[in-house]
Amino acid sequence: MSSVQKPCYERVLLKLSGEALAGDKAFGISPEVIERIAREIRSVHELGVQIAIVIGGGNIFRGIAGTAQGMDRATSDYMGMLATVLNSLALQDCLEKLDVYTRVMSAIEMHELCEPYIRRRAVRHLEKNRVVIFAAGTGNPYFTTDTAASLRAMEVNANVIMKATKVDGVYDADPVKHPNAKLIKRLDYLDVLKNNLKVMDSTAISLCMDNELPLLVFNLNTPGNFKKVVMGEDIGTIVRREK
């Protein structure tokens, strides 16, 4: 009998940027794009993999952009957190239309819309095979959704953070501006920090490094890639401690 290949990860945290939901638009949520992403998530969920998600809010409002226009940093960051709630509710709606049970848990309490974030409850949802979307970042200004992704991944004991991007992984130069840029398949956390590679912000990378949590960067725009990386195919860039 031929053995059926099993996923390489039991529990993953998927980090999505808000811009990914906008597609080709400069602003807002593309119904076609969010449905495609939801189908990618469902394909992995059907494998029995427990999935947690953190979404940014840059397609609606970016806190740093607000600060650059003269807004108070804390106020603009809170506005950015609310934008992540909008994206989380939109993805929840799309997933549940595909019969994937989903819970949105917010670091800022808003009981009429979503559950407050409680770590033990989040773990229990995952154990019951519900997709859990963590909204509102960490609930604190001055921290990005990258940092929220690292924090939540460690709190729920995820095996890996999978950061979805528009490119195939981490390159030695911007592949959009430099067609000859080379894809780097493996990186150490220190390489990311020393070379200021735009993988995640330094706080998020430091958290991953201190807790030995691997980070896998892959292209979500390629159909089937999320399922492939979960199954262990050599796609994208893996960031971990290289001995």
Range of the domain at 46: 11-239
| Domain annotation covers residue 56 | yes
Residue 234 sits at φ, ψ, to 5 deg, of -80, 75
Cβ atoms of 164 and 33 closer than 8 Å: no
- Per-residue pLDDT band for 24 (boundaries 50, 70, 90) equals confident
Q: Please report, in angstroms and rounded to a whole number, the separation of the first and last CA atoms in the chain.
A: 37
| Domain annotation covers residue 16 | yes
| Residues 25-41: tens digit of each pLDDT | 878 999 999 999 999 99
Residue 93 CB contacts under 8 Å (≥ 6 apart), including other chains: none
| Residues 53-111: tens digit of each pLDDT | 999 998 998 766 767 778 899 999 999 999 999 999 999 999 999 999 999 999 999 99
What would the mean pLDDT of 199-213 be, rounded to a whole number? 95
| Domain annotation covers residue 143 | yes
CA 201 – CA 17 distance, rounded (Å): 13
Percent of the chain whose predicted confidence (pLDDT) is above 70: 96
In the prediction, which pLDDT does 176 show?
80
In the prediction, which pLDDT does 1 show?
44
| Domain annotation covers residue 3 | no
Burial (Cβ within 10 Å: 0-12, 13-18, ≥19) of residue 175: middle
The H or E element containing residue 50 is: strand 50-55
| Domain annotation covers residue 228 | yes
Choose the weakest-confidence range: 63-67, 73-77, 165-169, 221-225: 63-67
In the prediction, which pLDDT does 3 show?
56
The two beta strands, 170-171 and 183-184, are: antiparallel
- Per-residue pLDDT band for 174 (boundaries 50, 70, 90) equals confident
CATH of the domain at 194: 3.40.1160.10
Cβ atoms of 91 and 38 closer than 8 Å: yes
CA 147 – CA 137 distance, rounded (Å): 8
Report the number of distinct structural domains present in the chain.
Answer: 1
| Residues 110-153: tens digit of each pLDDT | 999 999 999 999 999 999 999 999 999 999 999 999 999 999 99
Choose the weakest-confidence range: 45-49, 69-73, 204-208, 234-238: 69-73
The two beta strands, 215-219 and 160-165, are: parallel
Cβ atoms of 172 and 187 closer than 8 Å: no
Q: Does the pLDDT value for residue 189 go beyond 50? A: yes
| Domain annotation covers residue 2 | no
Q: Which of 154, 165, 159 is closest to 217 using CA atoms? A: 165
| Domain annotation covers residue 79 | yes
| Domain annotation covers residue 108 | yes
